[in-house]
Chain A
Amino acid sequence: MVKKASLEKLFAALKHQGKTMFAPLLKNGKVLYDITDNFSEIASDYIQTTQSAKAVVFPRTEKLFNYTKEKEGVTIKDFDPQSVPETVLWGVRPCDAAGFAPLSAIFNWDYKDNLFNTRLKNTTVIGFSCNKADEYCFCTSVGGNPGSAAGSDILFTKLGDTEDYLAEIITEKGQAVVAIAPELFEPANDVEKEKYLANVPVKFNREEISKKLAAFFESDLWAEQSMRCLGCGACAYVCPTCACFDIQDESHGKNGTRVRCWDSCGLSMFTLHTSGHNPREVQSQRWRQRLLHKFSYMPDRLSVYGCTGCGCCSRACPVDMNILEHLISIQEIKK
């Protein structure tokens, strides 16, 4: 158990240890993770952040290595794991923390991605359970819940209108945080945590949807659902599990940098071949890819679903493409 006032002290203690502190900050009416030294800057009243926290472990633009062309051959200055700072992600919602598992599965599928793994290893996740939810939330339909500790190193749950927070220490990293300021933590008496959590009703059965989707590849459904989709990457870029990227070289004369940049299956160029052929030439095929990847291909290949029910994509979509609505309508198809 910790008192509300102790949270600020804990934040300061972590900061004092030299950790890079990422927390949700309010900017232009949106809640975005950014580096801050100032606890009072942290947004408090938010259902979910606009963007997921994934950028901390999988930055939108990431330097893979530098290169210099020389008379004979090329010199490469590779990624240095030492350059990754010890980071604390503060204020992560359970549905966002749940994204680290599918991300890890993708980045360790066959090749073990040193950049991602180093960043994740150096990141401590301080989760905060949800006391409230909105109509976009559906964590309980995809294996999560508003008080789930999965993915967090410590999970705080606000106990109603009191000044008390239940602190669940989940991992060794969590214990290390407690060890920095043990005086801030006190033993919890019997606390009925569930009583304080948001009510998020189950809306569909994901296993059932997964099974159904495999047979829907050629359905008219995709065109019907995606006609209004504009084909931007907003849904993928706010998503806690979307991990597609594009490799680019930024060269300046003989020197250059190879960078990894976020990419999205919703963008028309994503699958464009050099020949000019595009196997996903219309938006409906791209929308189908998005749902099938999350609910069919990922569970098949990686034994993990690619959706945590955070609702970030639906809130961010400029044209009200609502993943929950579309999943429910798939569930309702009789077959």
Chain B
Amino acid sequence: MDELRNRAKELLESNTVQLIIGYEQGNGNKTRAVFIEKPDHVSKLIFDSRCIQNLAVYLTKAEVKKKGKPAIVAPVPVLRSIIQLAAENQLTNSSLVVLGITPDSKLIEFKKLEEIENFLEQFKIEIEARDKEILEKLDQMTPEERWKFWIDELSPCFKCYACRAACPLCYCTRCTVDDNQPQWVPVASHQLGNLEWHIMRAMHLAGRCTDCGACADACPIAIPLNLLTKKMMEDMKGYFGGYKPSLKSGNLMSTFKPDDKETFIH
């Protein structure tokens, strides 16, 4: 922790960065994001296993960008999001300083995005056994049973869009669901509206989702909505060789290849 605080202090004092995005103690047993601009305030920084919010979500926010160049405290899920954001031209090497945190809580500062990409090679994205089990169960269901499962899970959704707001990759300033001329997705959170929103969200994240879990963590009523993105990830393994954060490989749903095996591309 001292190492992290000292480095953050140095970065601010030398004006290498103007802002530290990290974690601080929140209310009760919660931790939360903190934005530090003054070297004297670095003692607020903490890091432990409770720090699970994906801070990469703040990197694309206008209010945060306005503060200047940030250094971000980045455990593995945040590192993955940083690479995906860079692959989508939302970040470059000069946009930020990355204070990586290894799974055993060691500080590892990255000079270049390529270093992060290499570092992540050792941490393959694996769907957790518990979720795999649910996905297998869903696969074995009849279409009617599966329909009932999703209607039941998605019907309490009141479209607060916390899932969208918490996702580092939902950085569009204007989301398709907010368009009303034409209106692609119903605004109402009735059955059709909820179903369309969640399917659309998952589809827009196919081939981009890093499985950080921020969407499901953010849901105030605990809808297991990341089962949809996990399912996408599993399906992709068979068709496209699976997902890993990469600066070069492009996005599954928005990459044009002349030799694509699907004929509609020609």
Q: Interface residues, chain A, CB within 8 Å of chain B? A: 27-30, 32, 34, 50-51, 55, 60-61, 135-136, 223, 227-228, 230-234, 236-238, 246, 248, 250, 259, 261-262, 264, 267-269, 282-284, 314, 316-320, 322, 325
User: Does B189 lie within 8 Å of A261, measured CB to CB?
Assistant: yes
Known A-B contacts A50-B221, A261-B188, A261-B189; A318 and B162 likewise in contact (beta carbons under 8 Å): yes
Q: A237-B160, A319-B32 are in contact. List 6 more A-B contacts (CB 8 A).
A: A28-B222, A61-B190, A228-B34, A233-B161, A318-B53, A319-B166
| Interface membership of B242, Cβ < 8 A | no
Q: Closest Cβ of chain A: how far from B24's Cβ, in Å?
A: 9
A293 to B242, CA, bound (A): 48
Q: Which of B145-166 contact A (CB under 8 A)?
A: 156, 158-162, 164-166
13 A-B residue pairings within 8 Å (CB atoms):
A28-B224, A50-B221, A61-B188, A228-B33, A230-B162, A248-B186, A259-B187, A261-B159, A262-B158, A268-B173, A269-B178, A318-B219, A320-B26
What separation, in Å, do the CA atoms of A325 and B32 have in the docked complex?
14
Partner of B188, one of A259, A317, A325: A259
Is B211 interfacial (CB-CB < 8 Å)? no
Q: Please encode chain B, from 51 to 86, with 1 for each CB lying within 8 Å of some chain A CB and 0 for all others.
A: 001000110001110000000000000000000000
Which A residues are in CB contact (< 8 Å) with B218? 230, 232, 234, 318
Q: 7 closest A-B pairs (Cβ-Cβ)?
A: A318-B218, A316-B220, A230-B165, A232-B165, A233-B160, A232-B162, A320-B32
Contacting A at CB under 8 A, from B17-31, are 26-28, 30-31
Q: Once bound together, how far apart are the Cα atoms of A30 and B220, in whole Å?
A: 8
Known contacts A28-B221, A283-B63, A227 near B165 by CB under 8 Å: no
- Judge whether B165 and A282 touch: CB under 8 Å: no
Residue of A with least CB distance to B156: A32
**B28/A60 in contact, CB under 8 A:** no
Contact (Cβ within 8 A) B161 A61: no
How close is B226's CB to chain A, nearest CB, in angstroms? Answer: 13
A318 touches B166 (CB 8 A): yes
Bound Cα distance A283, B12 (Å): 25
A55 contacts across to B, CB distance below 8 A: 158
Q: Is the CB of B34 within 8 A of A233?
A: no
Contacts of B160 in A (CB 8 A): 232-234, 236-237, 264
Query: With a CB–CB cut-off of 8 A, which chain A residues contact B32?
Result: 228, 319-320
A50–B221 alpha-carbon span in the complex (Å): 7
Contact among B27, B58, B174, B220 for A238, CB-based, below 8 A: B220
Q: How far is the CA of A320 from the CA of B51 in the complex (A)?
A: 12
Among B27, B30, B180, residue most surrounded by chain A Cβ atoms (within 10 Å) = B27
Q: Would B222 and A29 count as touching, CB distance under 8 A?
A: yes
B230 smallest CB distance to A (angstroms): 16
Interface of B is mostly: loop
Docked complex: B199-241 residues within 8 A CB-CB of A: 217-224
Q: Does B193 contact A (CB under 8 A)?
A: yes
Q: Report A156 CB to chain B, min CB distance, Å.
A: 26
CB distance from A41 to the nearest CB of B (A): 14
Please pick, from A30, A269, A317, the residue contacting B221 in the complex, using a CB distance under 8 A: A30
Instruction: Compute how far the CA of A238 lies from the CA of B158 in the bound complex, rounded to whole angstroms.
Output: 9
Q: Does B47 contact A (CB under 8 A)?
A: no
A325 & B220 in contact (Cβ 8 Å cutoff)? no
- The answer to whether A325 and B27 have CB atoms under 8 Å apart is yes
Q: For B57, what are the chain A residues with a Cβ–Cβ distance below 8 Å? A: 230
Query: How many whole Å from A274's CB to the nearest CB in chain B?
Result: 10
The answer to whether the Cβ of B197 comes within 8 Å of any Cβ in the partner chain is no
Q: State whether the Cβ of B35 lies closer than 8 Å to any Cβ in chain A.
A: yes
In the complex formed, the residue of A with least CB distance to B63 is A282
Once the chains bind, are A246 and B63 in contact (CB under 8 Å)? no
- In the complex, what distance in Å separates the CA atom of A253 from the CA atom of B162? 33
Smallest CB separation, A238 vs chain B (Å): 6
Across the interface, which residues of B come within 8 angstroms of A60, CB to CB? 158-159, 189
> With the chains together, A30 CA to B31 CA distance in Å?
20
Give CA–CA (A264, B161) in the complex, Å: 11
Option from A223, A232, A248, A319 in Cβ contact (under 8 Å) with B33:
A319
Q: Which residues of A contact B26 (CB under 8 A)?
A: 320, 322
Minimum C-beta distance from A177 to chain B (A): 28
Residues of B within 8 A of A317 (CB): 220
